[in-house]
Amino acid sequence: MQVTIMNLFYAMVIVFSFYSISFAQLTSSDVESMSKNADLIITGKVVEQNSSWNENNTRIYTQATIRVEEYLKGSNNSGLVIVSYLGGEVGDVGEIYSHMPRFENNEEVLVFLKKDDKSTNYKVFNGEEGKINVVTDPKTGEKVTTSNVQINTLKAQIKSYIKD
């Protein structure tokens, strides 16, 4: 009986592992939809972050400054783009929101952005799916996503969707 329960437990772990891995992968229809609906799509590096309370001191917002490497869609006529998102740390208080992207200093990213109606900043389009981390493959030296898609392939795919 105990062996059967352990086997069932291991089977569930394996199934849920595959489910979470497949769930984390963007499909080409997701990329197509985000490409067509985003106001701005860029690649770049996070160079600074500043967190602060909203005017009612009820939520923390962070502004991440991204130095633009390439504009794939749109332009703001600047080498810097400021992205606002819920969450961050102010003093001893930290807030984290599920399904909201988070940025790290010196992180390379490809982001799908929407103009923020309340400021000159941008928000990540489609939550955490709209932010893709870019890393260097240690074997090839090429830039790839964390799911090992070559960034040049992804950029070409995005540009083809915008032209349609």
pLDDT digits (tens, 9 = 90+) for 104-115: 999 999 999 999
Q: What is the mean pLDDT of residues 12-30?
A: 50
Of the given ranges (11-15, 36-40, 92-96), which has the lowest mean pLDDT? 11-15
Would you give the DSSP letter of residue 150? B
* Residues contacting 126, CB < 8 A, separation 6+: 30, 33, 34, 112
Asked whether residue 101 is domain-assigned, the answer is: yes
Does 15 score more than 60 pLDDT? no
pLDDT at 67 (0 to 100):
98
Does 13 score more than 80 pLDDT? no
Does 7 score more than 60 pLDDT? no
Token duo for residue 103: 């940025």
Classify 119 in phi/psi space as left (phi over 0), alpha (psi -120 to 50) or beta. beta
pLDDT at 14 (0 to 100):
47
Q: Provide the residue count of the chain.
A: 164
Cβ atoms of 66 and 44 closer than 8 Å? yes
Give the long-range contacts of residues 136-144, CB within 8 A, separation 24 or more.
143/108
CATH code, domain with 64: 2.40.50.120
Single-letter code of the amino acid located at 2: Q
Asked whether residue 100 is domain-assigned, the answer is: yes
Q: Judging by DSSP bridges, how do beta strands 108-115 and 122-124 pair with one another? A: antiparallel
Mean pLDDT of the chain: 86
Asked whether residue 15 is domain-assigned, the answer is: no
Does 151 score more than 90 pLDDT? yes
Asked whether residue 18 is domain-assigned, the answer is: no
Domain range for 65 is: 27-163
Tally the domains of the chain.
Answer: 1
Dihedral angle at the C-alpha atoms of 72, 76, 81, 84, nearest 10 degrees?
Answer: -100
Label residue 62 by pLDDT band (50, 70, 90).
very high
CA 40/CA 131 separation, integer angstroms: 12
Asked whether residue 72 is domain-assigned, the answer is: yes
